[in-house]
């Protein structure tokens, strides 16, 4: 049998830390054939990025590596620095995660793309630049000849990622290593980039090693999958096998803990993976997954698990894998103890034609004397007005969860903060419990502050690092109590218990908690004042999938028990679809579609909703979209392009001049469901559903949905 393009075998990586040796990778083996895409999947800490850096020879000096990496039959691990370097770019290309920091800010795009040719293939600069223009065109950038002289900061994120890809493939590598190449991008842009990579792979017969945490992306791009947990390969196989009938408990758990983008899923609890990631300086003896595995037996803890070969190219690191049932179901669907309010009852919170305008840059120049070390603002003669929120109305009923979906920069976070008066609106009204709170001075907002709270995205920044958990929660209790609170500690401990944390956490500092635990503390802090309304601002986006599931369950339980209302903000449609009663889709400061979750997820769609749904990757093999809707471009409309429908600059179904000049009317396909579009309803209704009506049972990681 011919040698594969890339063959890694028994790769181990150790770091020396003050607490002892840290085993970042342990006996990793995998292979990539020419023209094949292999995905390495894992959560943070799984060591997946280390695999990429080891292949490139870019690990730091302190990394101790053993095992073998063979590329086209040639052993890489022992090569000297010069030979390694000559392989990079020319034989193996790499694309990093964050396009914003991976391009050199002070070199032109052309220089950066042409570079590998100039220094690697000894091409003359002019010839290399000509090739760079061709390469930029190949990765789908419009007007590449003009782009060559541009600087990175003048490009959008999606364009920057295309430039990085062009630079990685220009010298004709046979293998492309991609480290989370789409994680920093919006879904619609992600879909475009994945299409591009798919095409490159086919056209150039590129082998691809695709590192990601996103099972949906895996399903979209990979031929074979390698699941990494705590530095060990736990499962290896084709995409259909691994995603369709996972054999290792960890893979089963990962799939089960994903919220699904489907109608049948709503309201169901997701099955999380209990416990937490092992300490790699002191890994558990025996099976590495044993502390979190629901199928664990005595033998698992006693024996180190080898990677067992199954039929075909499959391998699993679990002795029980043949005889496992489904991942345990998480309990019955939530009982809706607080039924939804009847249509027509007064909403709890309402935004009426709210607008928020920001001025970018300083008007008129003035005598700004800013210099040194800070940002030097580029003076604008004519300052640009950014409409973060544009004449938008939205109401949240009592006990209702309204999901607000939008991509980065759509203004969804700003809207959430305006509704709590944390950001002042430029115009419009906010009603809370029927009272107009738009103009109340901050001092008079005590009532609102007590009854409306917020939960944040970033667990690291949402807690004051110098404050104990108990103090952080207790402060909110004290502030809204009349007089002293004698049983403060007990009350805080009750709140901790409510979010599933032991009372001992009262005395912990944030840095002693994991991301999910910090998020729980953030929720307890929000609950401390006994709110009726909580803005959840991307509460699970920064978490690993297995943790995400527990937090989503917790938020669902709290809603059901206490009957609070949420404005649930997220960029992830599947998360919103899972928890929300009603969904509002936001684009560039405006709501383009709003309605019950069932209505929004089924046709007729607003063209933008359709594109979002079509772009959202799902991990169900075979459930590929019949047709893919792709947006043009990847950046929000400039101020000048906002006239008419704000989506017109990217809409694939744009009608023509009418979309650019006239504000679209509100269509009402059914009561409570509204779509802002010039297209006639009949035409919108002709679109086939993007997501399957019923999830297939087999596809759900073996977990029976009934």
Measure the CA angle with vertex 61, ends 60 and 63; round to 5°. Answer: 75
Measure the CA angle with vertex 698, ends 692 and 704; round to 5°. Answer: 95
Determine which helix (DSSP H) or strand (DSSP E) holds 40, and give its type and residue range. strand 37-41
Q: What's the rounded Cα separation, in Å, for the pair 284 and 591? A: 50
Q: Assess 232 for contact with ligand SF4 (CB under 6 A).
A: no
What tokens appear for 313 in the block? 């190219």
For ligand SF4, which is the closer residue by CB, 211 or 667? 667
Helix crossing, 157-169 with 187-204: angle to 10°?
Answer: 20
Q: What's the rounded Cα separation, in Å, for the pair 551 and 564? A: 16
Helices (H), 205-294: 215-221, 239, 249-256
Binding piece for another protein, criterion CB under 8 A, among 123-131, 333-341, 402-410, 462-470 = 462-470
User: What does 129 bind: another protein, ligand SF4, none (CB cut-off 5 to 8 Å by kind)?
Assistant: none
The sign of the torsion formed by the CA atoms of 478, 481, 487, 489 equals negative
Q: Assess 372 for contact with another protein (CB under 8 A).
A: yes
Q: What's the rounded Cα separation, in Å, for the pair 532 and 398? A: 8
CA 668 to chain centre: 31
User: What does 427 bind: another protein, ligand SF4, none (CB cut-off 5 to 8 Å by kind)?
Assistant: none
Which of residues 475, 491, 628, 630 is near another protein by CB under 8 A?
475
Contacts (CB under 6 A) with ligand SF4, residues 319-348: 319-320
For another protein, which is the closer residue by CB, 98 or 557? 98
Shortest distance, position 280 Cβ to another protein, whole Å: 8
Q: What's the rounded Cα separation, in Å, for the pair 248 and 547? A: 19
Shortest distance, position 149 Cβ to ligand SF4, whole Å: 32
Which of residues 34, 151, 426, 696 is near another protein by CB under 8 A?
151
Which residues make Cβ contacts (< 8 Å) with residue 355, sequence separation at least 6? 387, 389, 390, 391, 392, 425, 426, 427, 428
For another protein, which is the closer residue by CB, 479 or 666? 479
Contacts (CB under 6 A) with ligand SF4, residues 606-625: 607
Q: Assess 441 for contact with another protein (CB under 8 A).
A: no
User: What does 268 bind: ligand SF4, another protein, none (CB cut-off 5 to 8 Å by kind)?
Assistant: none
Determine which helix (DSSP H) or strand (DSSP E) holds 119, and give its type and residue range. helix 109-120
Alpha-carbon distances, residue 37 vs 197, 218, 560, 596, 657 (angstroms): 10, 10, 43, 39, 43
Q: Assess 463 for contact with another protein (CB under 8 A).
A: yes
Q: Assess 645 for contact with ligand SF4 (CB under 6 A).
A: yes
Contacts (CB under 8 A) with another protein, residues 495-514: 502, 504-505, 508, 511-514
Shortest distance, position 463 Cβ to another protein, whole Å: 6
Q: What's the rounded Cα separation, in Å, for the pair 599 and 64? A: 55
Q: What is the DSSP letter of 678?
A: S
Which of residues 12, 355, 458, 596 is near another protein by CB under 8 A?
458
Q: Assess 678 for contact with ligand SF4 (CB under 6 A).
A: yes
Binding piece for ligand SF4, criterion CB under 6 A, among 71-79, 215-223, 479-487, 647-655 = 647-655
Contact 679, 669 (CB under 8 A): no
Binding piece for another protein, criterion CB under 8 A, among 320-328, 361-369, 654-662, 695-703 = 361-369
For another protein, which is the closer residue by CB, 165 or 583? 165
Q: What's the rounded Cα separation, in Å, for the pair 272 and 516? A: 12
User: What does 462 bind: ligand SF4, another protein, none (CB cut-off 5 to 8 Å by kind)?
Assistant: another protein
For another protein, which is the closer residue by CB, 207 or 595? 207
Shortest distance, position 48 Cβ to another protein, whole Å: 13
User: What does 94 bind: ligand SF4, another protein, none (CB cut-off 5 to 8 Å by kind)?
Assistant: another protein
Contacts (CB under 8 A) with another protein, residues 302-331: 302-304
Alpha-carbon distances, residue 106 vs 102, 109, 429 (angstroms): 12, 9, 45
Shortest distance, position 113 Cβ to another protein, whole Å: 10
Which of residues 635, 643, 655, 705 is near another protein by CB under 8 A?
635
Question: What DSSP string describes 274-336?
Answer: PS-PPPTTSPPSS-TTGGG-TT--HHHHHSPPP-EE-STT-EES-TTGGG--PPPP--SPPP-
Binding piece for ligand SF4, criterion CB under 6 A, among 106-114, 316-324, 513-521, 527-535 = 316-324
From residue 203 to residue 242, the character string flagging contacts with another protein as x (rule: CB under 8 A) and all else as - is ----------------------------------------
Q: What is the DSSP letter of 582?
A: E
Q: Give me the residues paired with residue 455 across strands.
A: 536
Which of residues 41, 166, 200, 318 is near ligand SF4 by CB under 6 A?
318
Site residues, ligand SF4 (CB under 6 A): 249, 287, 289-290, 293, 295-296, 300, 305, 318-320, 607, 645, 647-648, 651, 653-655, 659, 664, 677-679
């Amino acid at each position: 049998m011919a040698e594969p393009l890339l063959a890694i075998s028994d790769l181990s990586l150790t770091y020396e830390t003050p607490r002892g040796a840290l085993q970042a990778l342990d006996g990793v083996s995998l292979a990539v054939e020419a023209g094949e895409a292999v995905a390495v999947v894992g959560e943070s800490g799984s060591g997946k990025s280390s695999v990429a850096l080891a292949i490139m020879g870019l690990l730091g000096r302190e990394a101790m590596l053993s095992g073998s990496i063979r590329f086209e039959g040639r052993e890489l691990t022992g090569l000297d620095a010069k030979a390694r370097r000559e392989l990079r770019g020319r034989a193996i290309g790499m694309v990093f995660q964050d396009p914003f920091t991976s391009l050199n800010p002070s070199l032109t795009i052309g220089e950066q793309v042409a570079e590998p040719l100039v220094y690697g293939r000894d091409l003359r600069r002019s010839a290399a630049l000509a090739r760079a223009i061709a390469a930029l065109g190949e990765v789908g950038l419009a007007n590449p000849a003009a782009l060559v002289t541009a600087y990175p900061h003048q490009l959008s994120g999606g364009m920057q990622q295309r430039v990085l890809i062009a630079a990685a493939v220009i010298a004709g590598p046979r293998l492309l290593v991609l480290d989370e190449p789409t994680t920093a991008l919006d879904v619609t842009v992600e879909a475009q980039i994945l299409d591009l990579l798919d095409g490159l792979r086919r056209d150039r017969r590129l082998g691809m090693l695709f590192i990601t945490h996103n099972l949906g992306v895996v399903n979209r791009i990979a031929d074979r999958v390698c699941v990494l947990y705590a530095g060990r390969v736990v499962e290896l196989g084709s995409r259909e096998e691994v995603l369709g009938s996972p054999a290792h408990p960890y893979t089963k758990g990962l799939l089960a803990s994903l919220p699904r983008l489907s109608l049948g899923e709503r309201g169901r609890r997701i099955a999380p993976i209990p416990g937490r990631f092992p300490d790699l300086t002191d890994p558990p003896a025996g099976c590495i997954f044993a502390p979190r595995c629901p199928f664990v037996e005595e033998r698992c803890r006693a024996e180190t698990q080898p990677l067992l070969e199954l039929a075909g190219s499959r391998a699993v690191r679990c002795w029980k894998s043949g005889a496992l049932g489904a991942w345990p179901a998480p309990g019955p669907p939530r009982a809706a103890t607080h039924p939804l309010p009847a249509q027509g009852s007064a909403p709890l919170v309402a935004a009426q034609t709210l607008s928020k305008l920001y001025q970018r840059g300083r008007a008129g120049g003035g005598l700004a004397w800013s210099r040194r070390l800070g940002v030097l603002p580029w003076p604008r003669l004519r300052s640009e007005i950014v409409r973060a929120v544009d004449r938008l109305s939205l109401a949240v009923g009592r006990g209702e969860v309204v999901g607000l979906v939008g991509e980065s920069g759509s203004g969804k976070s700003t809207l959430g903060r305006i509704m709590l008066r944390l950001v002042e609106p430029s115009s419009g009204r906010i009603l809370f419990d029927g009272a107009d709170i738009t103009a109340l001075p901050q001092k008079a907002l005590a009532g609102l502050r007590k009854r409306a709270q917020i939960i944040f995205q970033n667990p690291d920044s949402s807690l004051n690092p110098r404050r104990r958990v108990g103090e952080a929660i207790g402060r909110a209790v004290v502030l809204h109590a009349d007089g002293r609170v004698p049983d403060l500690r007990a009350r805080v401990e009750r709140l901790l218990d409510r979010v599933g944390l032991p009372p001992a956490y009262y005395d912990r500092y944030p840095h002693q908690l994991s991301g999910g635990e910090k998020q729980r503390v953030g929720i307890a802090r929000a609950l401390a004042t006994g709110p009726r309304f909580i803005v959840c601002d991307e509460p699970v986006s920064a978490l690993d999938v297995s943790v995400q599931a527990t937090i989503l369950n917790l938020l669902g339980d709290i809603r059901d028990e206490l009957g609070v209302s949420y404005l649930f903000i997220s960029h992830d449609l599947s998360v919103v679809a899972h928890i929300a009663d009603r969904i509002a889709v936001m684009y560039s400061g405006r709501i383009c579609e709003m309605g019950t979750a069932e209505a929004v997820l089924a046709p007729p769609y607003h063209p933008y909703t359709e594109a979002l749904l079509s772009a959202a990757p799902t991990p169900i093999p075979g459930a590929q979209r019949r047709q893919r809707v792709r947006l043009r471009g990847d950046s929000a409309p400039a101020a000048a392009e906002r006239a008419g429908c704000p989506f017109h600059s990217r809409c694939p179904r744009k009608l023509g001049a009418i979309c650019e000049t006239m504000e679209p009317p509100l269509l009402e396909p059914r009561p409570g469901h509204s779509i802002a579009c010039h297209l006639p309803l009949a035409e919108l209704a002709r679109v086939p559903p993007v997501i399957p009506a019923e999830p297939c049972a087999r596809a759900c990681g073996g977990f029976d949905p009934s």
